[in-house]
Amino acid sequence: MDINQHNSQAWDQKVSDQSVYTLAVSAEEVAKARKGEWQIGVTAGKPVPREWFPPELFNKKILCLASGGGQQAPILAAAGAEVTVVDISEKQLEQDRFVAKRDRLSFEIVQGSMTDLSQFADESFDIVVHPVANLFVADIKIVWQEIARVLKTQGILIAGFTNPLLYIFDEVAEEKGELVVKNVIPGNSLDWLPENQRTDYLASGQTIEFAHTLEDQIQGQLAAGFVLTDFYEDDFGGSRPLDKYIKCFAATRAVKLSI
């Protein structure tokens, strides 16, 4: 099956369902960004520290990768950057078009996969912003390599991702408030289901998610030519039982070395 196509359609449905990850920023937030008062997130809730960015974004070329939804790209464009947003979901990108039209913003919108950035030349961007999204592709090493290729030397990568511990628990039990260890990491949504339930899962339109190892998340960046310069953790804001025990999102700031 074509996982990219499946997840594209699943995210289109999330937009129709008004998932929190598909809700565009307000006109007020854009207006503040134009005045220099802005923040973005790449995990569930905690904002990215402003010191992770250059003091000024004017003339900085930023790629918002797998970042549709009218959230990061409009804010960074309003703050003065030259922004390109890439996402696999057309309806997520419609959110960006909506904000751009509403607030008279100019940035490039491209439908495509995070695993194939061949439309961009080497060293095209100063900054890549990559919110939690690589859980939707099977091989994230390709993602890190593509980011390194299109990012300028000494360019900045700001990436969010999941701690694989998020996926070891039985989902049905967790909905009841119980944490029951069940799933093997690495793995994906279909691996963790009995074979006779997989067809129904696919037909339900839910995303196929991959639990990647921390080695692939962190060493994968290092192998692609990055050095990590900062890190923080985040959670669901108390909405899931696991929040009481561990934070299941992480964000890294990395710089591309000349190699």
Q: What is the pLDDT of residue 239?
A: 87
Question: Is it the case that residue 216 has pLDDT exceeding 80?
Answer: yes
Residues 154, 157: Cα–Cα separation, whole Å: 10
Question: Is it the case that residue 1 has pLDDT exceeding 80?
Answer: no
What percent of the chain lies above the pLDDT cut of 90? 94
| C-alpha dihedral, 139 to 143 to 146 to 148, nearest 10° | -120
Q: Whole-model pTM?
A: 0.96
Q: What is the pLDDT of residue 181?
A: 96
Q: What is the pLDDT of residue 259?
A: 58
pLDDT tens for each residue of 138-189: 999 999 999 999 999 999 999 999 999 999 999 889 989 899 999 999 999 9
Structure confidence at residue 255 as a pLDDT band (50, 70, 90): very high
Phi, psi of 66 (to 5 degrees): 55, 50
